[in-house]
Structure 1
Amino acid sequence: MVDGLRDALVREAKRVEEDCAYSSKAHYNAADAWSYAHLCIGLPAAFASAVAGVSALKSHEALAAGLAIFVAALTSVGTFLNPERRANSHRLAAAAFHELRNKARTFYEIDAAAVADDSRATKLLKELSGRRDDLNRSSPGIPRWAFERARKGIEAGEATYSVDV
């Protein structure tokens, strides 16, 4: 393989890896937030529902009615926001970006050196780059705060393997 081309392929694979590291970490951050929202909506609704039921049995109609309204409101918010589905979507995107990150690293650490045919190596990199583009199109949007938290974590070394230090 021509060294100039190999170097260009490695640099581009490292860009794919970096993009995927940020996207993966940011999606994990967003998934964690939506999971927390799911708990914050679901647990009070479940607890209030149980208390409303007991209150109705104990003839505390006003308390039971108030709690029933509260449960209905929480249930409506939970249905509208659907935090569990959003958390799942972000978690799946995070895992897909993480997988692609690993493949990009394997490409520039092993495949680029092992593949003697320039066109084969270029094709492999284009597949990685195309997969990244597909993931960017199909993944849920990353909130700015989740990206910033990912950036800070990555800059602090959270995404670095000890073997690479």
Structure 2
Amino acid sequence: MAGLSVFLERIGWLTRSVQIAGGLYLVWLGIQSWRHAGARGSEDGAEGVSMERHGTASFFRGLRLGSLVNLSNPKGIVFFVGLYAVAVPPDAAILTKATILAASFMVEIAWYGLVLVLLSSPPARAVYIRAGTWIERTIGIVLVAFGIRLATARA
């Protein structure tokens, strides 16, 4: 929103470097997902991190950690930079820009909250307990493929 897309557009080598670094990071995440698939423990281990046992402090810790993960996610950054560069006029008032950022944050919180509720339901947890290792390995393969594609694609 503050000209990052123009900056990256004018310095082509920087864009390419970010693209390669992001691709390599995805490959690393995919390999880690494959290697550590199934190492997270049993159903009892999953129950140990429930919100009921840890209360509000756990909620804010999760919110902080989730925000840090999302802010460091190259995909999310590229998506929002691209969206804001196209949708927000450069001469928009600072209040308009702040409102857009706040609304984006609330949409993200609502989305991940919905995902949390749906995937922590007993049926979803049962599926994950049975097939979690293969789900994580499949995700690992997909991340490696996307990482290779991103790192080798022309900017």
TM tier, smaller: 0.3 to 0.5
Flag the structure with higher helix content.
1
Larger radius of gyration: 1
TM-score (norm 1): 0.31
